[in-house]
Structure 1
Amino acid sequence: MLLITAALTLVRLVALFATPLELYPDEAQYWLWSRTLDWGYYSKPPMVAWQIWATTAIGGDAEPWVRLASPLLHAATTLCVYGIGRRLYGPAAGFAAAALYILMPAVQLSSLVAATDSSLLLFLALSLLAYVELPAAEGRRRLWLAAGFGAATGLAFLAKYAAVYALIGLALHLVISRQARTVWSLKTGALALGAFLLVLAPNLAWNAAHGFATVQHTAANAAWGGRKLFNFAELGDFIASQFGVFGPIPFAVLIGGTLLLAVRRRLQPADLLLLCFAIPPLLIVTVQSFISRANANWSGAGYVAGAILVAAWLIRWRARWWLTGALVLQAAVAVVFMACVLTPSFADTVGLSNAFKRGKGWEQLTEEIAGRALREPPGSLSAVVVDDRFMFNAAAYYGRDYFGKDREPPLKMWVREAHPQNQAETTEPLTAALGKRVLAVSLEPAYRAEMAADFRSVSPTEIISVRLDKKRKRKAELFIAEGFAPQPRDPVTGKPPIPRQP
């Protein structure tokens, strides 16, 4: 397992340094956070920024170093999966579970981007490893494992608040398993809780000092405001996506095996333990997709336990060919994905270009914007302002040597509504002092007239575009705007008034 993990991780590291794909805007935003270390940020806990700070401190700010932690974290998670599987079912199941995990399509993608899931899954795996080791431990070792469980769960919360599923899994297992309850004592419980709160306390304090911004953003993501209550299309899309991110055979085995063994009452204690950690994320997010919406990776907190269950069941059922088929299929998907990452034109050939469009064109578009700003007389622009958070994040990264440097205009964000709706609007809003004469950049056609209405005068619009592939372009509308004087926002909706048509 060590050899396989090392080999696949090496391949991923080579791909990181060889791919021409650019940072997508969320990655650029995490890089921005890493420039100022803190205990929390507008939309995420701090772990992703910390890991980017660590790797870029070593190698600089180029894309591979921004992403470098992800394949290393997934490699560590793979070894934890092996350890959990070995403890619960034996070395063969541990090996199969680790192989399924490291070849999982979601892990393939997550290993090559800077995102929150890589650290979340590692710390969830560490907490689960400590949990399954507890029953066999005695004396001081049991105390250390209890503290380790609490600390790892706290670190998972610092990665992503989806770590709450670990607490749900723990509570569920303690409720339904008498054997699980006998493992814990007042001392071990106090140690676990104390370690958890000690790790999480700085983030809680940061949230309290910032109006619980991250918690509110997470809750808003989960809400269904403005959407109809029952969304069969969203439900179907989410369920279908799980076959893609978890793997078609493993996901079918996970759902089918759970139903079959539950009906026949043949669940072993280890099965029950893992189901408590694997099923709640999947079930809760499935319900959320029905009443609102859900991204495919929102159930990711169950991937670790789910991979171990699938491997254990296939080995128990002696379904060698199904296990082999699952690994071969996921390895084939990994090869195709790697080919697309290394040669984006191959993605065009196989019809997958749409999946990679967010990693293209941002650098060139930023260069076009900076070039247009440079055509203005030196010192005449007070700012470059954009109306799209994706464009702001990408321009902040790819224009890091231009915007705000050597007397060049700073990059600012136009705030559309009465209150900030994202990190860029919160930390870098356009103000009257910087709105005297700006280069305005609009990626949202619906917002262009609204943004222009916030200025006393604007020039005719110029259009720039960057080709992403044979079918797609990314366009931006540019104009010079003077005298920033925002229109009053609607007191109920917070939105700007509808501009009058000329």
Structure 2
Amino acid sequence: MVSTPNSPQSGFFWKPLLITALALLAVRIGVLLLTPLTLQGDEAQYWTWSRDIDFGYYSKPPLIAWAIGFSTWLFGNAEWAVRLPSCLFQIATGLVLAMLGRRLFDDRTGLWAGIVWMTLPAVAFSSLLMSTDALLLTFWALALLQWDRLVKGGGWADVLVLAIAFGLGLNAKYAMSYFLLCAALHLVISREARRGLLTNALKPIVGFVLGGTMILPNVWWNAAHGWATVGHTADNANYQGIVLHFDKFGEFLGSQFGVFGPILFAAFILCLPWTRQRIAALTAERKFLIAFSVPILLLVCGLSLMSRANANWAATAFPAATLLTVHVLMSRPVWIKASVALHVAVALLLYGAVVMPDASVRLLGRDPFKAIPDWTDVAREVEAAAQASGTSVLLLDDRMITASLSYALRDRPLILRAWNHDAKIDHHYEMAWLYRPQDDGDRVLLVTPHGVDAIVDAFDQATVLPPITLHGRAGRDRTLELRLLEGAKQ
């Protein structure tokens, strides 16, 4: 029986759950404050988006920029403030899943589901990085809770919350649309769900339609910008026809043991029903959780087989998978506790390395962050070269370097502009920061890790300047070529 908030068991549920959440939150914020690792690549790009609030951006819907913008408005532009929303949203997801687990099963299952989620390897890692998944998963979990309420006779207040969760999820990442596929499958395999919506079918439809209207400003933005985000999403799929990539499939499937943890992912696979008869014999709760996890994993596994798939592309499968796996393992709680202990141990090692990267080199004999450069030093050298050259315009042709330098130079009076080698828009900076001589002047400092001939040929004069070494950790160095370019040819 599910306890009410005022029942004797309610304290058992809320007290340890909130203590765990607050303890993990404190540790992770401490790590964010102490780490010397600067913003890199995508994180820095999202920060630049947040400086120009809009309804859309080249590769993502707008919610991540809004979240960073709000956080940095409150706390300033330090790295920890940029990453803070991810940390908060991951904890929030755990709390929502705990409430759903309590509703579906009992207090103990809900409590362990929340704790397991908050300590998952992927969650421990991504809590230190600003990403769209952190936002998406909170709204996905909230939509799961509301969907369960609606198929069990929920009211119009539940419809409103479902609409908000679905709409904000779409504005976090288009993968929120998987929810519709999973909901449809749930109705197919669950007689209980169909019966619950027999006299209530209009409510979830209204919820999804209202939520869908929240993405319309982003659709308008895409239409006004040549469907940039849609095109980028299609490019990410990298479909190359019917060619089976078993190596990519193996890489993706293997990565899920790291994302979910080896014990939990193995238990999840073993508890799945693989025949129609076994599916029919499942409880309503298990059908619900399978419908919102297995289709996503199968879809992304198929994508990995046909082209490729990143480890996080199946992230929306794991809220329901967490609840299902914890429920199955409640009869053998030692496995849940062993998994949590393993995940906490791995997280502590990770956090120690993040806070003291130099110490990790001495202890491990290798640098886990060997490819991460210190952009503060690079920015200082670039600024000095610009001042010596008498120009305030930097011309760049690499997205990741543009993003990282834009953050590192955020307090400097320098203008960053992107060079487009062809007519195709390949990233945000080619769309929003494109170099135009008539607006930016014809005297610029070129900073590039690539060949310079094509760019130099577009100017009347080029002066070679000393290159800058981009020091990656553990000796992984790259060279940034510098040229003072004058007289842009129109």
Normalization by structure 2: what TM-score? 0.90
Partner of 2:445: 439
2:291 to 269, 276, 291: 276
Q: Which residue of 329, 341, 355 maps to 1:328?
A: 341
Q: Name the residue aligned to 1:454.
A: 458
State the alpha-carbon separation in 2 of the partners of residues 364 and 249 from structure 1. 42
Deviations 1:68-100 (A, max 9, x none): 111111111111010111111211111121121
Equivalent residues in 2 for 1:80-479, closer than 5 Å:
80-137=96-153, 141-184=154-197, 185-225=200-240, 229-259=243-273, 264-265=278-279, 266-315=281-330, 318-348=331-361, 349-350=363-364, 353-355=367-369, 357-358=371-372, 360-376=373-389, 378=390, 381=391, 383-404=393-414, 410-433=415-438, 434=440, 436-444=442-450, 447-460=451-464, 462-479=466-483
8 A contact 2:113–2:322 mirrored in 1: yes
Q: Counterparts of 2:454 and 2:277 in 1: how far apart (Å)?
A: 58
Secondary structure in 1 aligned to 2:446? strand
Deviation at 1:147, TM superposition (A): 2.6
Residues in 2 aligned to 1:312 and 1:182: alpha-carbon distance in whole angstroms: 24
Contact 1:173 1:273 (C-alpha < 8 Å) held by counterparts: yes
For the residues of structure 1 that align with 2:429 and 2:210, how far apart are their CA atoms? 34
Task: Give identity over the alignment, percent.
Answer: 36
Q: Quick check: 1:43 aligned with 2:62?
A: no
One-letter amino acid of the counterpart of residue 400, structure 2: F
1:481 lines up with 2:485 in the alignment: yes
Secondary structure of the 1:293 match is coil
Higher alpha-carbon deviation: 91-100 or 327-336: 91-100
Amino acid at match of 2:161: G
Equivalent residue letter for 1:250? L
TM-score by length of 1: 0.88
- Supply the RMSD in Å over aligned alpha carbons: 2.1
| 1:78 equivalenced with 2:94 (yes/no) | yes
Aligned to 1:158, the other structure's residue is in SS state: helix
- Find out whether 1:53 has 2:77 as its counterpart: no
1:10 corresponds to 2:26: yes
Change (3 A) 1:310 1:351: farther
Shift of the 239–355 alpha-carbon distance from structure 1 to 2, 3 Å rule, reads farther
Q: CA deviation at 1:136?
A: 4.0
Mapped to 2, the partners of 1:84 and 1:421 lie a distance apart of 41
Partner Cα distance (2:354, 2:458) in 1: 41
- Report how far residue 178 of structure 1 moved: 2.5
Shift of 1:351: 6.0
Aligned residue in 2 for 1:498:
none
Q: 1:282 to 1:355 in 2, by over 3 A?
A: farther
Q: CA deviation at 1:467?
A: 2.6
Instruction: Give, in whole Å, the separation in 2 of the partners of 1:352 and 1:161.
Output: 38
How far 1:18 moved relative to its partner?
1.0
CA deviations 1:374-411 (Å, max 9, x no partner) are 112x3xx362111111111111111122243xxxxx21
**C-alpha offsets along residues 291-340 of structure 1, whole Å, 9 cap, x if unaligned?**
2111111111112111111101111xx22222222111111111111111
For residues 483 and 229 of structure 1, what CA distance do their matches in structure 2 show?
A: 49
- Maintained 8 Å contact 1:87/1:133: no
CA contact (8 A) 2:293 2:321 kept: yes
Alpha-carbon distance, 1:267 to partner: 2.7
Q: Secondary structure at the match of 1:45?
A: coil
Gaps of 5+ in 1: 405-409, 487-502
Verify the 8 A CA contact 1:40 1:207 in the aligned structure 2.
Answer: yes
Residues in 2 aligned to 1:181 and 1:459: alpha-carbon distance in whole angstroms? 72
In 2, distance between residues paired with 1:22 and 1:383?
23
Q: In 2, distance between residues paired with 1:294 and 1:351? A: 31
Q: Does the CA contact (< 8 Å) of 2:396 and 2:402 recur in 1?
A: yes
1:157 alignment partner AA: L
For residues 273 and 58 of structure 1, the distance between their equivalents in structure 2, rounded to whole angstroms, comes to 39
Verify the 8 A CA contact 2:162 2:208 in the aligned structure 1: no
- Secondary structure, in 3 states, of the residue corresponding to 1:87? helix
Could you give the per-residue CA deviations for residues 162-206 of structure 1, whole angstroms, max 9, x where no partner exists?
111111111111122222123232431343134213322222222
Secondary structure of 1:375 counterpart: helix
Separation in 1, partners of 2:368, 2:351: 16
The aligned length equals 469
Q: 1:64 — aligned with what? A: 80
Find the residue that maps to 1:475 and give its secondary structure: strand
Superposed displacement of residue 461, structure 1: 5.6
Q: Specify the SS of the correspondent of 1:477.
A: strand
8 Å CA contact retained: 1:383, 1:412: yes
CA distance in 2: counterparts of 1:35 and 1:461, whole angstroms:
31
**Match of 1:69, SS?**
helix
Please report how far the alpha carbon of residue 354 of structure 1 lies from its aligned counterpart in structure 2 after TM superposition: 4.6
Pairwise CA distance, 1:435: 5.7
Maintained 8 Å contact 1:223/1:292:
yes
Specify every segment of 5 or more residues in structure 2 that has no aligned partner in the other structure, as ranges. 1-16
Distance 1:462 1:232, change over 3 A: farther
Q: Deviations over 1:77-129 (max 9, x none)?
A: 11101011111121111112112111111111211111111110000010001
Q: 1:77 to 1:22 in 2, by over 3 A?
A: same
How far off its partner does 1:282 sit?
1.4
Partner of residue 34, structure 1: 50
Give the AA of the match of 2:353.
C
- Kindly tell me: are residues 356 and 152 of structure 1, through their superposed partners in 2, closer, same or farther at Cα, counting changes over 3 Å? farther
> d(CA) in 2 for partners of 1:353 and 1:229?
37
Report the Cα distance in structure 1 between the residues aligned to 2:400 and 2:422, rounded to whole angstroms: 17
